[in-house]
A = this chain, B = another copy of it.
């Protein structure tokens, strides 16, 4: 047969009565008497192939075909018989009568996990050890289709808000911003560090562009063993100038989250339904001072916070409370104590012990952290000293403000946590393609 362009499965309903060439993966193959049925999938959908007994060439070519073979078929697009129309939605009401079948590639050995079941039914380690194969499973693939849409929607929301996209360095000459959360690297003849946030650089970008955002890798050398931490993730950062206060920042983040949820709800309906999930409703996100949250936790749950800091149990409880009282899956906790926030956090005008900061919680987990930053060089220098740090380690950073910067603020948002909580996945590692933790550096 002469060379022929491939037709995507999605396009087959428009080719009724024509001969098309399809390429894809065999989902499953079934024999009914002398008939052979094959469910074929490509990136655009799934369709049923039929091999009739009067086509011995195709019968012969198909005799070894099993799940996860990659095949090419030339076939006639036919209307699906009425009695099979119950799954016509999936297949666009068509089936393909095979004329020729060729094997493109096939697994050399049995797949280590059965990807044809909707639910893989393997534990997290098995899933991650076999990540590439697991991606052939419909539910696993759905996670990353949604993830791709989250990235697109964040980008779209930011640009709609006139944020300029920047890319900032991940290799740093010094491990500023304090803490031992930096990975050290050998950089030619000296030591360097991996960025644990684009904080200083996005403030620098803001000081020229007013509004900037970054989608970039964040490295955290934290020896955590939890369901919500990985050591490398993709941060969705933003910084905006000329704000009246931290409320402007929360407004912008709320607009952004709603844009993401709305898009995922529309574009990924099928993927969400595999998990029996829907995106959060379009409800105003409550904003609760952390001190008020502390009162609520005490009254409603008999829970006391240590050092006024909310722990992961407290975060789950306050989300439960907010869902019950306000019908919201998200909540802003605001005005964290100075002792719990970085030195660049703007102190509250009415209370030097609290800051103009917030965390955004989604179904029990913090997904974003943000606030207004100090934009006055003198105040910033004073705060660096108060935190026991040396201003001379921060001269490039302080310079941003020595040359004049507007009142500003921003956030860091974890892309994978959005997906984790949207699908109620047990671990964030299910939402990272190839996650890194203290023990895992492969595949």
Q: Which residues of A contact B (CB under 8 A)?
A: 3, 6, 23-24, 42-44, 68-70, 104-109, 111, 131-133, 135-136, 141, 144-145, 147-148, 151-152, 155, 159, 162, 164-174, 183-188, 190, 192, 194, 201, 204-205, 207-211, 215-217, 219, 221, 223, 231-232, 234, 242, 244, 375-377, 396, 399-407, 415, 433-436, 438, 441-443
Contact status of A43 and B211, CB under 8 A, knowing A434-B168, A441-B171: yes
**Could you tell me the distance between the alpha carbons of A122 and B375 in the complex, rounded to whole angstroms?**
28
Is there contact, CB below 8 Å, between B68 and A399? no
CB of A430 to closest CB in B, whole Å: 14
- Once A70-B406, A135-B207, A135-B208 are accepted as A-B contacts, the answer to whether A164 and B148 lie under 8 Å apart by CB is yes
- The answer to whether B186 touches A166, judged by C-beta atoms less than 8 angstroms apart, is no
Question: Which residues does chain B contribute within 8 Å of A443, judged by CB atoms?
Answer: 204, 396
Q: Report A333 CB to chain B, min CB distance, Å.
A: 26
- CB-CB under 8 A from A164, the residues of chain B are 43, 144-145, 148
B106–A404 CB distance below 8 A: yes
Q: List 17 A-B contacts (CB under 8 A).
A: A70-B404, A70-B405, A104-B407, A105-B375, A107-B403, A108-B404, A132-B204, A132-B208, A135-B208, A141-B208, A144-B164, A145-B164, A151-B167, A155-B155, A171-B231, A171-B441, A183-B187
- Min CB distance A233 to B, Å, is 9
Enumerate chain B residues within 8 angstroms of A105, measured Cβ to Cβ.
Answer: 375-376, 401, 404-406
Which one of A43, A68, A164 has the greatest number of beta carbons of chain B within 10 Å?
A: A43
Report A144 CB to chain B, min CB distance, Å. 7
With A232-B171, A433-B201 given, is the CB distance from A438 to B188 under 8 Å? yes
Of A164, A407, A441, the most chain B CB neighbours within 10 A belong to A441
Residue from the list B23, B184, B186, B190 in contact with A242, Cβ < 8 A: B23
Given contacts A105-B376, A144-B164, A187-B183, contact A404 B171 (CB under 8 A): no
A433 CB contacts on chain B under 8 angstroms: 166-169, 201, 205
| Interfacial chain B residues near A185, Cβ < 8 Å | 183-186, 194
- Count the copies: 2
By a CB distance below 8 angstroms, the chain B residues around A441 are 171-173, 187, 190, 192
Given contacts A70-B406, A173-B441, A205-B433, 11 further A-B contacts (CB under 8 A): A105-B405, A133-B403, A148-B166, A169-B435, A170-B219, A170-B232, A171-B231, A174-B442, A183-B185, A183-B187, A188-B438
Contact present for A434 and B183 (CB under 8 Å): no
A135→B241 CA distance, assembly (Å): 15
Residue in chain B with minimal CB distance to A165:
B148
Q: Is the CB of A232 within 8 A of B165?
A: no
Q: Nearest chain B CB to A252's CB is how many angstroms away?
A: 14
6 tightest A-B CB contacts, nearest first: A173-B441, A135-B208, A396-B443, A43-B210, A148-B165, A132-B204
Residue of B166, B377, B438 near A144 (CB, 8 A) is B166
Bound: A69/B108 CA distance, A = 68
Q: Please name all residues of chain B whose beta carbon is closer than 8 Å to the beta carbon of A159 when the two chains form the complex.
A: 152
* A145 / chain B contacts, CB cutoff of 8 Å: 164
Residues of B close to A205: CB separation below 8 A: 135, 433
Asked whether A404 lies within 8 Å of B68 as measured between CB atoms, the reply is: yes
Instruction: Please report the C-alpha to C-alpha distance between residue A210 and residue B194 in the assembled complex, in whole angstroms.
Output: 32
